[in-house]
Amino acid sequence: MLYFAMAVGLAHVTLGLAMGIVSALRKHTKKEALVKLLNIVFIFLIVALIITFIGFFPELLTRPLIILILILCPLLLFSGGLLAPLELLKNIGNIISYARIMAIGLTSVLLANVANQLSGLTGDIILGLIVGGIIHLLGIIIGVFSSSIHSLRLHYVEFFDKFIDLGGRQYRPFSSNQKKEEKADVSQAESEQQEQHAPSR
């Protein structure tokens, strides 16, 4: 179950970084796209190295993987600066945080097991049904709310920050100046497009 949770985290974070590459290329920030691409490469290299240590991959791959990681380290520092390794560690931590999926599932199973054991220890059918029903109901409530809250957190914290840039303007639907601001934004965007497509002299 832990491997499954880590696999989901790896796929989710990698998808976010890939969308971040697309977003960076659209903004014409090639260095940012390169940093995100290197993060993906580093993550897969580290995962392959861990799998090699566990024993699923041959041990012959250990030295080439380490050499490749050491070769790519200067490129990561050159493209992303001194904060690039911290960003890589943050992405790895984001993947590890998906272990909470396993923790939620394990908690529900253990709580259900405790409910069954306590209801059997009461020695009375009616009392056992009441005790077991209360604990099972508590487990269902925890399972529903915890999985929803943690899923939203994983999306907003571990996934969205890979490609979404906060910005824009304040949304004021009932403001008298809303239409004027929208027209000004449209005219500004059109003028920028005309400047981009204008032939250089």
Residues near 108 by Cβ (< 8 Å), separated by ≥ 6? Answer: 139, 142, 143
Q: Is there a domain that residue 146 lies in?
A: no
Spatial distance between the Cα atoms of 141 and 108, rounded to a whole number of angstroms:
10
Q: Does 168 map to a domain?
A: no
Question: Tell me, what's the pLDDT at 201?
Answer: 44
Q: What is the pLDDT of residue 32?
A: 86
Chain position carrying tokens 């880590």: 6
Question: From first to last of its 201 residues, what are the pLDDT tens digits of the chain?
Answer: 778 888 888 888 899 899 989 888 888 888 888 889 999 999 999 988 888 888 777 878 888 888 888 888 888 888 888 888 888 888 888 888 888 777 777 887 888 888 888 888 887 888 888 888 888 888 888 877 877 787 788 888 788 888 777 666 666 666 555 555 556 665 666 666 566 555 544
Residue 118 pLDDT: 85
In which domain, by residue range, is 65 found?
1-96
Helix axes 99-121, 125-153, angle to 10 degrees: 170
Alpha-carbon distances, residue 166 vs 39, 52, 170 (angstroms) = 21, 39, 12
Task: At 31, list the tokens.
Answer: 């260095």
- Alpha carbons 184 and 72: distance in angstroms, whole number: 46
This prediction has a pTM of 0.68
In a domain, 109, yes or no: no
Cα separation, 92 vs 18, whole angstroms: 15
Number of domains into which the chain is organized: 1
> What is the structure's pLDDT at 18?
92
Please report whether residue 110 resides in a domain.
Answer: no
Which position has the token pair 């109901």?
137
